[in-house]
Structure 1
Amino acid sequence: MTVTREPRLGEPPPGGTADRPEHPGRGEAVDFDGLYHAHFRSLTLQLAAYCGDLSQAQDLVQEAFCRAFARWSRVSRYDDPVAWVRRVAWNLATSRWRRLRTAQSWLHRQREEHVPGPGPDRVALTAALAQLPAVQRRAVVLHYLADLTVVQIAEQEGVPEGTVKSWLHRGRAALAAQLATTNEVNHHD
């Protein structure tokens, strides 16, 4: 009787799957460890830009990968497993934001207020992004941080390409105005 052990994280599984492509052809399985190591950091940076909190983004991406791992026999055969993980992470971020908004509303009714800590250098862009409507913020982050094309964003969001272009145009214009205002205020102080 031969006993085989499970591969350790980062170690290729038995059978030589270490040289599998990241995005194989339809129906061909992808190595979870390789996908995790190749995409965890970039997905975390995307979510951090979206939600403004690196540790929260790490938790969200970790949870998305855990959910992918639990369904790996199915997810590994998708045309783009990273897109599935990204979508789950974004959905988790949206759900967490809704729960936070509900909690803050409750605190406000209790006459307690949550005051975020200062950090002027890091806060400028996060504050400007926070001013954008969620769809524009998501489009800007996916396009400029995740390097997704307009076509890919349109496919992920289920909208026409023109809608994504509009979101990006409006998001860039609003960010430029917001950051210019912030820069003028900082120079006058």
Structure 2
Amino acid sequence: MQSSDEFDAFYAASSRRVLGQVYAMVGNRAEAEDAVAEAYVRAWHRWSSVREADSPEAWVRRVAYRIAVSAWRKAVNRLRAHHRDAAEEHVEAVGPDHVAIVTALRRIPVDQRRVVVLHHLTGLSVAEIAAEVGASPNTVKTWLARGRRAMAEHLADEADTLTGRRSDHG
């Protein structure tokens, strides 16, 4: 019973945050929801070992990300179904800044997107990101720098488009 209460508290404290992070990494809310749900199921089944991890939340996030990526590679038809479902659901209005950031994130390479989200939205350090993604800290720093630079260009292009100015970025 104590284990169940402990897991319930962990889920309540982390699930929305993990969903937001995975959604930002994969760019599709339905895929993120499915992957996060499956990751929490796996965490529950392995709770005795997951709760002993340095960060159970990072464990769930890493598993959810892997599930989402695997789903992309294996099930094109499933993605299309999720896109149809997501188009029909009511989504709260978001501001133009949010739309611009999500659009810019979608335009940068997946490794860069992942580390930008983990660093800037999740608040992980370079060392924590390196451990989570299985890359060296220097690689993470390179991806962060490139991701920031690419996002800045995309956001500048978007601002130029909105203001009617001509872009000099390329």
Q: Mark yes or no: TM-score above 0.5.
A: yes
Aligned 1:144-159 pairs, distance under 5 A: 144-159=120-135
- Structure 2 counterpart SS, 1:77: coil
Q: How do 1:114-133 residues align onto structure 2 when only pairs under 5 Å count?
A: 121=96, 122-133=98-109
Higher RCO, Cα 8 Å, sep 6+: 2
Q: What corresponds to 2:38 in structure 1?
A: 63
- Residue 82 of structure 1 deviates from its aligned partner by 1.5
C-alpha distance in 2, partners of 1:154/1:78? 16
* Residue 103 of structure 1: how far off its partner (Å): 4.2
Following TM superposition, by how much is the alpha carbon of 1:53 offset from its aligned partner in structure 2, in angstroms?
3.0
Matched, 1:38 2:9: no
The alpha-carbon deviation at position 59 of structure 1 amounts to 2.5
Give the one of 59, 70, 92 matched to 1:84: 59
Provide the rounded CA distance (Å) in 2 between the counterparts of 1:72 and 1:58. 20
Q: Does 1:143 align with 2:119?
A: yes
Question: What runs of 5+ residues in structure 1 fail to find an aligned partner?
Answer: 1-5, 7-12, 19-30, 108-113
Q: Does 1:75 align with 2:62?
A: no
Superposed structure 1 runs of 4+ greater than 4 Å apart: none
Deviations 1:84-143 (A, max 9, x none): 11110110121122245x449xx9xxxxxx9x97x9935432221111111100000111
Query: Which amino acid is 1:178 matched to?
Result: H
- In structure 2, the gaps of 5 or more residues are 88-93, 166-170
What's the % identity of the aligned pairs? 41
CA distance in 2, matches of 1:137, 1:97: 16
Q: Distance in 2 between matches of 1:187 and 1:97?
A: 36
1:187 aligned residue (160, 163, 166)? 163
Distance 2:104 2:58 in 1: 26
Give the length in aligned residue pairs.
153
Mapped to 2, the partners of 1:135 and 1:86 lie a distance apart of: 15
- In 2, Cα distance between equivalents of 1:103 and 1:61: 20
Query: Is the radius of gyration larger for structure 1 or structure 2?
Result: 1
Q: Where does residue 160 of structure 1 map in the other structure? A: 136
